[in-house]
Structure 1
Amino acid sequence: MASERLGMAALAWMALCLAAAFAVDRSNFKTCEQSSFCKRQRSVKPGSSPYRALLESLQLSQDSMKLQLVNEVNKVPLLLELYGLQGNMTRIKINELSPLRPRYEVPDVLVHDPPTTWLAVTGRDENSVELSLGDSGHKLILTGKPFRMDLLQGRELVLSVNPRGLLHFEHLRHRKDSFSDKVSSSVGSLWDKIKSLFYREEPKESAPEDGAAGEETEPALPGDQESSEKSTKSEEVSDGPNRAEEELGSWEETFKTHTDSKPNGPTSVGLDFSLPGFEHVYGIPEHADNLRLRTTEGGDPYRLYNLDVFQYELYNPMALYGSVPLLLAHNTQRTLGIFWLNAAETWVDISSNTAGKTLFGKMLDYMQGGGETPQTDVRWMSESGIIDVFLLLGPAPTDVFRQYTALTGTQALPPLFAMAYHQSRWNYNDEEDVAAVDDGFDTHDIPCDVIWLDIEHTDGKRYFTWDPNKFPQPRNMLGRLAAKRRKMVSIVDPHIKVDSGYRVHNEIRSRGFYVKTKDGSDYEGWCWPGSSGYPDFTNPEMRAWWASMFSYDQYEASMENLYVWNDMNEPSVFNGPEVTMYKDALHEGGWEHRDLHNLYGFYVQMATAQGLEQRSGGLERPFVLSRAFFAGSQRYGAVWTGDNAAEWDHLKISIPMCLSLALAGISFCGADVGGFFKSPDAELLVRWYQVGAYQPFYRAHAHLDTVRREPWLFGEENKALIRAAVRQRYALLPYWYTTFYHSYRSGQPVMRPLWVEYPDDVTTFSIDDQFLIGNALLVHPVTEQGAHGVQVYLPGKGEVWYDVHSHQKHHAPQTLYVPVIMSSIPAYQRGGSIVPRKERVRRSSDCMYRDPYTLYVALSPQGTAEGDLFIDDGHTYNFESKAQYLHRHFSFASNTLTARSADSKGVFESPAWIERVVILGAGKPAAVFLRQPGMADTRLDFQHEPETSVLTLRKPGINIGADWSISLR
């Protein structure tokens, strides 16, 4: 027993040392060449597809089309299903017609079955069918041989499916050395001889590869369809030469010291798409790369496989902690999305193609006039499952966001405190340390809402517990924070210490809730506690039990102000292949881990969020931070960019990383302020606080080996700079909250690239060092060491932008050189917008609840502006269940500012009022009058600054929920 403890401690120490090494060991993670299915898929070269659509099998219902595809090399039949969806979307599913066993289809990610629209056949010839897709104006041309689909709007080709013939579907089969395979080979050879005699053709030799370029394919024969179905069921066919597949790791694969048994053999799927007219594609997070995706020709594809990567490298396509298989394409005419619903390991190849365009594409170029148009080709490759892909047809960026979130859900509306500032470290040592940090924020007059505890707060890394020596009275500690109207977040990871004296472990084991090995025993791996079990979060019963553990009588000493952080949920397994779980581990229903790996963290966050909801009887909105994620994770909380480093490039990369996540539906994103690894100098730390103040999730966090870095530890001057940045965040909380509300309602990203608001401005398409918050604030933070200035691009023909600090007006479009000093955070308010603020900043957001608002009215060149404000209690679901909210709309036109309800369904009494109105770009009026219904006009005091054209109206004193107007005369 002692030796076991020693081994556990040694392994945990090794993991700590690996983390402290401050550099990723790339040899721990596969390249495409080392991933056998990726290598097999990539070995299929563009050319004539071996797949033929059997047009005579087409079945059309009111809302779907089904037909069979057959691989003319191995005769395996597939079923193609096509659905027209409401809201300008199309769904394509491809599965085996008669698989040996069911193939995995991703559950729980879609919020519901998407509503369909009608389909109709509008044309047909011997090798193609034309379908009309509802009322969208789109039509689809399905070509039989070789199989491909082309989606058009009018005469414009929007996208093509399988245009390069890269569809590659590895069917389930028995292993070749089994008796049935020997029978299969004999029967297959006999069938070839019979066909050659009956049809006077020579027998074909075995194809060198399933779907290889330039293959000669056999002619369609009467009875092929029926015989294909029968032979698939009895495994009387092969999928190319078995010897080559064995060499490529089809049935067993070893990486370093780990062997994957692959009991089901090769099961990968791949499909390609062409996007004519598109040069800019985005999305498929998470990667530490630029916003605009690069071509992957000559290198590795982008990889989607949730992994624990210590201090990841920048500007490469390596997989990181989360995966969202959504790619967006944008040009000046339209925006498209491709959502590949598959939770297995996935690789995405991106190539630029003009000269290699298909004949069909070149014909369309000719028909549409002009020279060749650019084209981006995208190839998706997943290890298992089926092909289930949604084509989001826009045409505007806002349409694509609405379409995607209609499928996977919108960003949950966080409680207000979650948008404020969070202070974390691995680890605050004990209750006295927590109290000192808490008091430090008050002593130094820096607002803070949340203090975090990492793994050391537990009793021996046993989650849901407290260290009895360091945290003997956690309820008192939480109560002390609550008295200051602050919160705490504690870490609860999904690896459970294997310890017979640990109640949580015993319950999970007794209920059979752990993930199993391929032999049926409980799977164990190494993580922070040492030997650990991994709960099977794919099991709904396990998730329900996990959720129950957050009730106040189960989670010892927990209180209403304690929230949760799920880390290491890729899942991280220190001694596993690629620092994660074996792919042949088994989940509920007999599914292999390979089928659903990227869903694991999604389910952990889901169960935790449900637990926080349930502990309050469904009243309170949860806050859960998760490191791993998948499509739909936005419904359950926030994510961050993982184990970054205190380096300038890591500060810079946090912007495109969060922008990519926002484009893929996950708006609540941030990066560890200051960098997790290493220790930042004062300049880097200050700049990071300034960048973080304008990102959705704002948390400082650090590795336990770094020097302490609370905001007041770097001298008075730097403390003042950090305080100013944090106070800017708090002043803007009303705008942040309103923007999150819009994201919750409509799916629009909170933090967004410039091209989202300016889709026809090509200059914005590659910009990722500046961004918008909502549609009104543009930010270009300083991310270069020793910077004396930044180049800010102000978009919008005929628009104006106002510096939020100096109120100076700038005409757009232009690139503006902005000199900067250490206090500078270049930020601009868009002319024509109204932004609400609260400028009486206090110790926490909750302390500011009753405080008054200031409205910043930035006039357009036409002298107009509009904006809104959403208010509720800031933490419950009453805004939904009881319509307890205010949604106010503000507009300025004809020298009159008006406030009215934006949603009459909402009823809520707020104690807050308006203490000031600041109008940017205004002339000096003779007088200003306030008008309220049923009351005489009231004259208001004002101050006008002619140098900046800023008009300040003092103390209107109106309740924020009242209707009123202010006239400048």
Structure 2
Amino acid sequence: MGKLPCALLFFLLFTNPAFSWKKEEFRNCDQTPFCKRARSRQPGACPLTATDVSISGGDLVAKLVAKETNQETPTKPLVLKISAYQDGVMRLKIDEDPDLNPRKKRFEVPDVIVPEFSDKKLWLQSLKEEEEENSGLISVVYLSDGYEGVIRHDPFEVFVRERGENGKKVLSLNSNGLFDFEQIKDKKDENEDWEEKFRTHTDSRPYGPQSISFDVSFYGADFVYGIPEHATSLALKPTSGSGVEASEPYRLFNLDVFEYIHDSPFGLYGSIPFMISHGKSRGSSGFFWLNAAEMQIDVFNGNNSNEFLKLPSDQKRIDTLWMSEAGVVDAFFFVGPAPKDVVRQYTSVTGPTALPQLFSIAYHQCRWNYRDEEDVYNVDSKFDEHDIPYDVLWLDIEHTDGKKYFTWDKMLFPNPEEMQNKLAAKGRRMVTIVDPHIKRDDSYFIHEEASKKGYYVKDKTGNDFDGWCWPGSSSYLDMVDPKIRSWWGEKFSCKNYVGSTPSLYIWNDMNEPSVFNGPEVTMPRDALHYGDVEHRELHNAYGYYFHMATAEGLAKRGKGQDRPFVLSRAFFPGSQRYGAVWTGDNTAEWEHLRVSVPMILTLGLTGMSFSGADVGGFFGNPDTELLIRWYQLGAFYPFFRGHAHHDTKRREPWLFGERNTELMREAIHVRYMLLPYFYTLFREANSSGTPVARPLWMEFPSDEKTFSNDEAFMVGNSLLVQGIYTQGAKHAEVYLPGDQPWYDFKNGNSYKGGETYKLDVLEDSVPSFIRGGTIYLERTDFDVALLKWQMILTLWL
């Protein structure tokens, strides 16, 4: 009886196809105390000054102390450390002093920074002090490549500047004096209430407020980009400042959001707290905060946000405010100066995109759900019948026995190995879904073992956390523990995953984590992980560790399995090392087609090159024109998959009449023709971090007309693609940057660069152009393609 109300609530709320994003289900800044406090602070409020500045162990170290202490400011010094690395990277760490025995060690995110990054450390040898007019005493260290790291003593500020007389600033922290670090403390008395409530949920907050906030300024910037995931424009819009209507900050908090709305700063499935700036005068720079707690970020209105910095009128800047609920300051400054330099510097810290196998960058066919083996064979044969290539067929949760992962419904899929082998005989693979919620069923071998070993996340009382997801009552594996990740990885061996074969790969969904009856549809913040770390401290990294464990498990399967394909919905910095991501549960609307481009470009800028959006939209039934336009654009996504909700009409490409099937076939054929080119670009991403799909300004960094253009994009350096985002469009305006000619991808017509063209919209393609003076690999027939691949594999593998 006790579970009946929850089960009924689950059925009513989460099996109703009309359920969608509801604003009131999620917190805004005013309902989030740490965000509200940080936003209320005024420039210059930071009371900290830097003392005892010296060089120790190859780093600049200092203490941050309050000039005047009171109940509102820290009473214990903070420890600051600046480290320099090769290729223009500076790292800043600020934490409580461990020698002063803080009540709790603050969480630092492990397993994100690649081990080889430490080999690039530069040992700082000397420190010079200068007295600057209007700035007071500063301490300066030489970084590399003509840049210096500087700490101003009073008031405290950290920045990177160009070396030389009157060297201009590139990036700074606390230039506006907004730094605040809430130290973990004991309660003054037992009556002090640290609890936070939202709707029907109460967060016990046993350690009280522990948030951190600070301002970051980007100099010489016209726009800032990054910090996915949001369904909004590529160039981040101001959220605060003069002349700006008050809005929510950009939120970074991994959430399961049904039918998310476009043009919103609301956080979605993944979080990468990395921002890149770009401007015509200076180029690009970047800032990354390694922190897995909830984060909110304000972008101020260009160069008019406030006058606290008192810059020369010719030095532009964009100010931002970064706010996090917990953690430490572990921040990285990237000096650029070119856009590709910044992404290379960032991926030197978090790792480059894994080099995918060829099949995974081809076309994928998915639906929730293909019903049974007969349905699988029918879909497979129809692709052949209609001469439509595809490489991967997917199965969603209904293929399992009662939504228990690593199992098969024996009535619907009685011969899973035979099914996979028949697809493999045609060179095709299969993907099945494996989510982090484990059904609490004593007869289920995963649950029995995980429960016995104590491998689940705990609730605040120390018991196994019990939440609701697709199977009903579920617990969640504590993937922060390396031992549990290793145990999980073993489950993917063909011996342990009964019914699987080497041609089966994996899809991790719902790994934000999604908890249907939890606060904001996720896990309570006071749940406990390995090492007594609260969920609030690592929430945004939970899906990352799950993705990591799955990918490493597949890689252990044996020979030829060292490049696994795993798709993840949740992501975090470093996720690019483990597989692909997609933009989640989008909708069959023209605006969702449009917003897919800036979302994918933003993911690429922040390391996640292998990304795409559900072609056709996950929710709803696209009209035929929208579906065709989506295939024509999706053929240029780095990850190309058609996918749909089980309540939608079937939409395989042959179901819309002969002419429409022909148009979708042609779009998919374009992708296959370009596979050698895409593979080349993935190798480039793997070696340098440069994304596969790129904003125009990455290739044309001095052309201001490209800076806010997010309807067109570059595939590599050779191919420009312009989507069609309006029903019934007859014409499209396309800007072709640069001073070289461009050639129409379809008919070879030549166009002069640096001009905007009003072009007739064609039924059979979206506007796409080859850049003069570049080379791209094209697959013309099987024999030629095979020869090209042999050459590529010989050179690279």
Pairwise same-fold verdict (TM > 0.5):
yes
- Which of these residues, 37, 40, 47, is aligned with residue 34 of structure 2? 37
For 1:870 and 1:440, the matched residues in 2 are separated by 28
| Counterpart position of 2:760 | 819
Identity percentage of aligned residues? 50
Deviation per residue, 1:357-380 (Å, 9 max, x gap) = 556543xx1xxxxx4543210111
Deviation at 1:299, TM superposition (A): 1.3
Flag the structure with larger Rg: 1
Deviation at 1:135, TM superposition (A): 3.0
Deviation per residue, 1:591-625 (Å, 9 max, x gap) = 00001001111011101101110012574310000
| Counterpart position of 2:140 | 131
> How many pairs are equivalent?
774
- Segment of structure 1 superposing worse, 631-640 or 126-135: 126-135
- Segment of structure 1 superposing worse, 140-149 or 476-485: 140-149
* Alpha-carbon distance change, 8 to 474 in structure 1, aligned in 2, over 3 angstroms: farther
* Alpha-carbon distance change, 360 to 492 in structure 1, aligned in 2, over 3 angstroms: closer
| Counterpart position of 2:121 | 116
1:169 counterpart = 2:181: yes
* Alpha-carbon distance change, 494 to 871 in structure 1, aligned in 2, over 3 angstroms: farther
Deviation per residue, 1:535-555 (Å, 9 max, x gap) = 001011110011000001110
- Which of these residues, 186, 203, 217, is aligned with residue 274 of structure 1? 217
Deviation at 1:47, TM superposition (A): 2.2
1:723 counterpart = 2:665: yes
| Counterpart position of 2:84 | 84
Contact kept in structure 1, 2:676 and 2:779, CA below 8 Å: yes
1:350 counterpart = 2:299: yes
For 1:383 and 1:852, the matched residues in 2 are separated by 52
* Alpha-carbon distance change, 451 to 9 in structure 1, aligned in 2, over 3 angstroms: farther
- Which of these residues, 828, 832, 835, is aligned with residue 769 of structure 2? 828
* Alpha-carbon distance change, 602 to 816 in structure 1, aligned in 2, over 3 angstroms: same
SS at match of 2:659: helix
| Counterpart position of 2:23 | 26
SS at match of 2:387: coil
* Alpha-carbon distance change, 173 to 262 in structure 1, aligned in 2, over 3 angstroms: same
SS at match of 1:766: coil
| Counterpart position of 1:140 | 149
What does 1:739-758 correspond to in 2, within 5 Å? Answer: 739-758=681-700
Contact kept in structure 2, 1:352 and 1:375, CA below 8 Å: no
| Counterpart position of 1:93 | 93
- Which of these residues, 396, 405, 415, is aligned with residue 357 of structure 2? 415
| Counterpart position of 2:780 | 839
Deviation at 1:764, TM superposition (A): 0.4
SS at match of 1:802: strand
Contact kept in structure 1, 2:234 and 2:710, CA below 8 Å: yes
1:704 counterpart = 2:646: yes
SS at match of 2:300: strand
Deviation at 1:425, TM superposition (A): 0.5
For 2:214 and 2:338, the matched residues in 1 are separated by 25
For 1:299 and 1:747, the matched residues in 2 are separated by 33
SS at match of 1:402: helix
Deviation at 1:122, TM superposition (A): 2.5
1:309 counterpart = 2:306: no
1:254 counterpart = 2:197: yes
Deviation per residue, 1:322-376 (Å, 9 max, x gap) = 00010000012220000011000001111025355556543xx1xxxxx454321
| Counterpart position of 1:844 | none
1:65 counterpart = 2:7: no
1:293 counterpart = 2:293: no
- Segment of structure 1 superposing worse, 533-542 or 269-278: 269-278
Whichever residue aligns with residue 226 of structure 2, its letter is G
1:541 counterpart = 2:539: no
Contact kept in structure 2, 1:291 and 1:657, CA below 8 Å: yes
What does 1:305-704 correspond to in 2, within 5 Å? Answer: 305-332=253-280, 333-355=282-304, 358=307, 361-362=310-311, 365=312, 371-617=313-559, 619-704=561-646
- Which of these residues, 738, 742, 745, is aligned with residue 804 of structure 1? 745
Deviation at 1:178, TM superposition (A): 4.4
For 1:76 and 1:618, the matched residues in 2 are separated by 54
Deviation at 1:886, TM superposition (A): 2.6
| Counterpart position of 1:886 | 794
Deviation per residue, 1:786-838 (Å, 9 max, x gap) = 111211111112x1111111111111111111111221221111111121111
Whichever residue aligns with residue 293 of structure 1, its letter is L
* Alpha-carbon distance change, 360 to 5 in structure 1, aligned in 2, over 3 angstroms: closer
Q: CA RMSD in A?
A: 1.8
Which TM-score applies when normalising by structure 2? 0.94
Contact kept in structure 1, 2:673 and 2:779, CA below 8 Å: yes
| Counterpart position of 2:711 | 769
For 1:12 and 1:438, the matched residues in 2 are separated by 35
Deviation at 1:13, TM superposition (A): 2.5
SS at match of 1:712: helix
For 1:328 and 1:47, the matched residues in 2 are separated by 25
Contact kept in structure 2, 1:734 and 1:837, CA below 8 Å: yes
Whichever residue aligns with residue 468 of structure 1, its letter is K
Deviation per residue, 1:290-316 (Å, 9 max, x gap) = 000011111111000000000001111
SS at match of 1:612: helix
Which TM-score applies when normalising by structure 1? 0.78
Deviation per residue, 1:62-117 (Å, 9 max, x gap) = 63111100123343211111111111111111111232221001110101243222
Which runs of no fewer than 5 residues in structure 1 stay unpaired?
A: 180-241, 366-370, 841-847, 855-868, 874-884, 888-905, 909-969
Contact kept in structure 1, 2:736 and 2:754, CA below 8 Å: yes
Deviation at 1:138, TM superposition (A): 1.7
Contact kept in structure 2, 1:796 and 1:813, CA below 8 Å: yes
Deviation per residue, 1:115-166 (Å, 9 max, x gap) = 2224332333494233132332222342222111232213212222101111
1:47 counterpart = 2:41: no
1:105 counterpart = 2:101: no
SS at match of 1:824: coil
Whichever residue aligns with residue 886 of structure 1, its letter is T
Contact kept in structure 2, 1:82 and 1:92, CA below 8 Å: yes
For 1:300 and 1:529, the matched residues in 2 are separated by 35
Whichever residue aligns with residue 759 of structure 2, its letter is V
SS at match of 2:303: coil
Deviation per residue, 1:876-905 (Å, 9 max, x gap) = xxxxxxxxx333xxxxxxxxxxxxxxxxxx
For 1:337 and 1:439, the matched residues in 2 are separated by 49
* Alpha-carbon distance change, 44 to 76 in structure 1, aligned in 2, over 3 angstroms: farther
| Counterpart position of 2:243 | none
Whichever residue aligns with residue 643 of structure 2, its letter is H
Contact kept in structure 1, 2:13 and 2:19, CA below 8 Å: no
For 2:85 and 2:396, the matched residues in 1 are separated by 45
| Counterpart position of 1:227 | none
- Segment of structure 1 superposing worse, 92-101 or 528-537: 92-101
Which runs of no fewer than 5 residues in structure 2 stay unpaired?
A: 241-245
For 1:34 and 1:640, the matched residues in 2 are separated by 29
Whichever residue aligns with residue 95 of structure 1, its letter is D
Contact kept in structure 1, 2:87 and 2:144, CA below 8 Å: no
For 1:851 and 1:548, the matched residues in 2 are separated by 40
Contact kept in structure 1, 2:238 and 2:300, CA below 8 Å: yes
For 1:136 and 1:25, the matched residues in 2 are separated by 50
Whichever residue aligns with residue 272 of structure 2, its letter is V
